[in-house]
Amino acid sequence: MASASIGRWGALQGSINGWDQKPFDRSLAEYIKVSKRTVRQIVITKLYFIARKAIWFTRKADIYSIHQRLGGMVKVDRLTKKGKVVKRRVLQLPSSTSQPAPLAVLILMRRWADAGKGNPFKGQSRRAGAVAMAKATRKFIGASIKSVAFIKSCWLPSVRKLAPEADKKGQPQVDISNATEVGRPKGDAILPTSEAAPVGSIVNMANSKHDLRGAVTRFATDGLLQAFSDEAASMDQYVEEHMKPDADKFNQENR
């Protein structure tokens, strides 16, 4: 699960280990000084943009990284017995001199051992065990890749809940077509109740026992951190543009 809150004095750390919130806090504090919105409106609007950007940045996250770390299916040319070249999809696993086997295989072996289950080679021929292991590995990598879309979908409840009260003037319509929810909503947003307590939260409750351990939380967190960083940059730009006329006037008067 990944979650975070923001309020009058900046970001309140949620379940994001190692998050340096100071840059965002500074940007938000300066933005509040120049914005015409109430603090409650600011909190709602910023949470809205952070949640929807988390969808974008999670999309950019790590299908490529999954392939780099775990492997995947690739197309290769194979020569048949009749001498004809045909294309085949085969499982390709990255190797490492620091590990005795590909990472995906090691993860599966450890997972089976923790569950008290035997591995595919037990009680079978070497060839049959290799076929069973390849099948399990393909399924495992496929589930890891599908989890990227699953993670994105868990930000949708936050976006939808915040959207009615967020100030979206002049902003492009959010594209969430590639983040489709399956089953019950797995995320939420808590809106600030008043100006006296202008604190709100967004939550991504993504979790999958079939996914690479820790990957769901890591990918959700990476996307959320990038969203916070991007929104801080947006606020910095707004403050700079707001202050520019005064700065130009000051510079002209003091030439």
Per residue, what are the HEC states of 205-253? CCCCCCCCCCHHHHHHHHHHHHHHHHHHHHHHHHHHHHHHHHHHHHHHH
Predicted confidence (pLDDT) per residue in 70-89, tens digit: 666 566 677 777 778 777 76
Residue with the bigger pLDDT between 177 and 147: it is 147
Based on the fold, state whether residues 20 and 145 are members of the same structural domain: no
Contact 51, 189 (CB under 8 A): yes
Q: How far apart are CA 8 and CA 47, in angstroms?
A: 13
Final residue of a structural domain among 97, 128, 150: 150
Say whether 6 sits in a helix, a strand or coil. strand
Q: How far apart are CA 189 and CA 202, in angstroms?
A: 4
Residue with the bigger pLDDT between 77 and 39: it is 39
For 205, phi then psi, to 5°, come to -100, 30
Starting at the edge strand found earlier in the chain, the sheet holding 187-190 runs 10-12, 2-7, 200-204, 187-190
Q: Which residue type is seen at 138?
A: R
Average pLDDT value for residue range 104-118 = 77
Average pLDDT value for residue range 193-204 = 87
| Least confident span in 13-17, 18-22, 128-132, 218-222 | 13-17
Domain that holds residue 74: 64-150
Predicted confidence (pLDDT) per residue in 132-167, tens digit: 888 888 888 777 777 667 778 888 999 999 999 999
Residue with the bigger pLDDT between 159 and 92: it is 159
Based on the fold, state whether residues 120 and 101 are members of the same structural domain: yes
Q: How far apart are CA 243 and CA 250, in angstroms?
A: 11
**What tokens were used for 29?**
């504090």
pTM: 0.65
Please check the confidence at residue 180 and state whether its pLDDT lies above 50.
Answer: yes
Measured in residues, the chain has a length of 255
Listed in sequence order, the residues at least 6 apart from 5 whose beta carbon sits closer than 8 Å to its beta carbon are 11, 12, 14, 190, 199, 200, 201, 202
Based on the fold, state whether residues 47 and 36 are members of the same structural domain: yes
Based on the fold, state whether residues 240 and 126 are members of the same structural domain: no
Based on the fold, state whether residues 243 and 188 are members of the same structural domain: yes
Give the chain's count of helices (H) and strands (E): 7, 6
Based on the fold, state whether residues 189 and 240 are members of the same structural domain: yes
Based on the fold, state whether residues 88 and 192 are members of the same structural domain: no
Based on the fold, state whether residues 222 and 178 are members of the same structural domain: yes
- Count: domains in the chain: 2
